């Protein structure tokens, strides 16, 4: 595999190749900072890849932190899990915890000192909440549109829990989930800018699409039945967990159409140290919104993390 080019206008991080405890090959990008005040673990979402968070990593470096992220198993440049590499699949949602463990195992002082902090988007928010519940040593967490519940189209939503759960351990698990939730089209061939659920900024939409069209092996298509069943089950399991005893900043777009704002609001109502804000006019990817929104979000994240960092 070849190395992905840097995200436009953003220098690449230091590339590392990792192997999980169950033998899956992963690609990570690391952004060390001399005399860092801590290390931010960036947990990205389904379909994403490490370079996409280069701008966030540079903002974190400027705020005094080292940063590290990875391509989850089954996406980006990490090992794909099915013969059709376009399928977004995972055998068990908890397997993502093995990926996170492989990343944290290579983070050592002085370049990547503790305390650890977390910046988690979408699917990464579900992975991150589970990791916190199981003792990942994080001092404070930031969640962007976390996947603590999934918005499914009406015809799918009504049958999802019964149908997908019943097929999660059958040969059907490796099939694409039905459209509009799934399907074999690459993520940027599903629709044009109008009505897209990710961003309200046409320039950033074009940039994301141009990058993936130029490098289609970084993209994946829709989720499999198995992935969707596992994700729904994990969201349901997360609802039963107590909130972690640490400070939390959560940001969502008011025009969110992928994850459940109801689930986010419910979780944060039970999190004593949580701060929550919904950005008017923003969609699912706050870090891919118009420059004013993106810069304000990054500035707010930096202020929050610095307020909980040593020194």
Q: Are 152 and 181 in contact (CB under 8 A)?
A: yes
- Contacts of residue 57, defined as CB under 8 A and 6 or more positions apart, other chains included, come to 13, 29, 31, 40, 42, 67, 69
In this prediction the pTM is: 0.94
- CATH among 3.40.50.1820, 1.10.10.410, 3.40.50.20, 3.40.718.10 for 14-307: 3.40.50.1820
Per-residue pLDDT of 149-158, as tens digits, reads: 999 865 555 5
Asked whether residue 191 carries a pLDDT value surpassing 90, the answer given is no
Q: What is the mean pLDDT of residues 57-81?
A: 96
Q: How confident is the model at residue 172 (pLDDT cuts 50, 70, 90)?
A: confident
Per-residue pLDDT of 219-263, as tens digits, reads: 999 999 899 989 999 999 999 999 999 999 999 999 999 999 999
Give the residue with greater pLDDT, 20 vs 196.
20
């Amino acid at each position: 595999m070849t190395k992905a080019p840097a995200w436009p206008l953003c220098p690449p991080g230091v590339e590392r190749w990792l192997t999980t405890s169950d033998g899956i090959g992963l690609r990570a990008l690391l952004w060390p900072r001399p005399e860092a005040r801590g290390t931010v673990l960036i947990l990205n979402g389904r379909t994403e890849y490490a370079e996409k968070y280069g701008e966030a990593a540079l903002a974190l470096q400027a705020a005094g932190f080292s940063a590290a992220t990875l391509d989850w198993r089954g996406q980006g440049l990490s090992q794909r899990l099915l013969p059709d590499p376009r399928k977004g699949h995972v055998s068990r949602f908890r397997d993502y915890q093995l990926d996170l463990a492989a990343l944290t195992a290579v983070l050592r002082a002085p370049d990547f000192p503790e305390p650890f902090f977390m910046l988690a988007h979408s699917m990464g928010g579900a992975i991150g909440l589970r990791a916190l519940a199981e003792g990942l040593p994080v001092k404070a967490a930031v969640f962007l549109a976390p996947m603590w519940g999934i918005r499914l189209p009406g015809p799918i939503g009504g049958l999802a829990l019964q149908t997908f759960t019943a097929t999660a351990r059958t040969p059907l698990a490796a099939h694409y989930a039905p459209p509009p939730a799934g399907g074999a089209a690459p993520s940027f061939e599903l629709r044009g800018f109008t009505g897209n659920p990710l961003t309200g900024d046409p320039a950033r939409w074009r940039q994301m699409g141009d990058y993936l069209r130029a490098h289609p092996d970084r993209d994946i298509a829709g989720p499999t039945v198995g992935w969707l069943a596992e994700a729904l089950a994990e969201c349901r399991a997360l609802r039963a967990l107590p909130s972690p005893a640490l400070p939390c900043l959560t940001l969502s777009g008011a025009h969110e159409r992928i994850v459940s704002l109801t689930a986010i609001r419910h979780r944060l109502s039970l999190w004593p140290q949580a701060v929550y804000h919904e950005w008017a006019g923003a969609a699912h990817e706050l870090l891919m919104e118009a420059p004013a929104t993106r810069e304000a979000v990054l500035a707010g994240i930096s202020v929050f993390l610095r307020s909980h960092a040593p020194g």
